[in-house]
Amino acid sequence: MEIAALKKRSNSYSSLAIIFGTSILVALAASVAILFAFPSIINQRPPVIYPPNPPPIHGINITIQAFPVNDTTSRFHGLTVDVPLLDTFWETSKNYVFDETDEAFTYTTFANLTSGTHYVQYGVSTMEYLPWHARIYINNVLEAEGDVSRYNYLTAYFAV
């Protein structure tokens, strides 16, 4: 009786092994089929998605003309595009300083901008009682004019 029980148990284990082994083979075959059907899974990199239409870039000329009204001291002159110019830009944001002078000047630079509304801000490191008079031209069109001092920067708004 014990031998018969052992044979029965052995047949059960064999059946389980066959079922388990078959399941593993089926899972392995399915995995291989998926890898061949979707080769990007092998590289583990997400697909590259390109924007449908990149925004157009427009080159613009920015010209600043300025002269001291009654100031005889050399001053720092700063310029930003689409960024606020800080009250103490000559100390805190020296990369925005484009000149240091006590004389009238004309300064021209170039910027690449996307389509839309933008602004240029010009400032000078002087107090209100020693202003500079300035004009901002965008592509040779006068966009802003006025007296400029430390707390009164000149801003030109424009669209490209």
User: From start to end of 42-116, where are the E strands?
Assistant: 57-68, 75-81, 97-101, 105-114
| Domain membership of residue 121 as a residue range | 57-159
Q: pLDDT tens digits, residue range 11-51?
A: 555 554 555 555 665 555 666 556 565 555 555 666 777 66
- pLDDT, residue 88, reads 92
Q: Do residues 135 and 64 share a domain? A: yes
Q: Do residues 68 and 36 share a domain? A: no
Residue 6 binned pLDDT confidence (cut-offs 50, 70, 90)? very low
Q: Do residues 39 and 107 share a domain? A: no
Q: pLDDT tens digits, residue range 112-155?
A: 999 999 999 999 999 999 999 999 999 999 999 999 999 999 99
Q: In this structure, which amino acid lies at residue 137?
A: Y
The domain total for the chain is 2
- pLDDT, residue 21, reads 54
Query: What single string gives the DSSP state of each residue in 24-43?
Result: HHHHHHHHHHHHHH-THHHH
Q: Do residues 72 and 39 share a domain? A: no
- pLDDT, residue 78, reads 97
Domain annotation covers residue 51: no
Task: For residue 146, give the CATH number of its domain.
Answer: 2.60.60
Domain annotation covers residue 86: yes
Q: Do residues 97 and 23 share a domain? A: no
Distance CA 74, CA 36 (A): 72
Domain annotation covers residue 139: yes
- pLDDT, residue 76, reads 97
Whole-model pTM: value is: 0.66
Q: Do residues 29 and 74 share a domain? A: no
User: Hey, what are 88's tokens?
Assistant: 């103490």
More confidently predicted of 8 and 69: 69
Q: Do residues 149 and 74 share a domain? A: yes
| Helix or strand run (H / E) with residue 16 | helix 2-37
Distance CA 153, CA 86 (A): 10
Domain annotation covers residue 50: no
Q: Do residues 151 and 78 share a domain? A: yes
Q: Do residues 37 and 95 share a domain? A: no
| Helix or strand run (H / E) with residue 79 | strand 75-81
Q: Do residues 63 and 125 share a domain? A: yes
* Largest Cα–Cα separation, the chain: 121
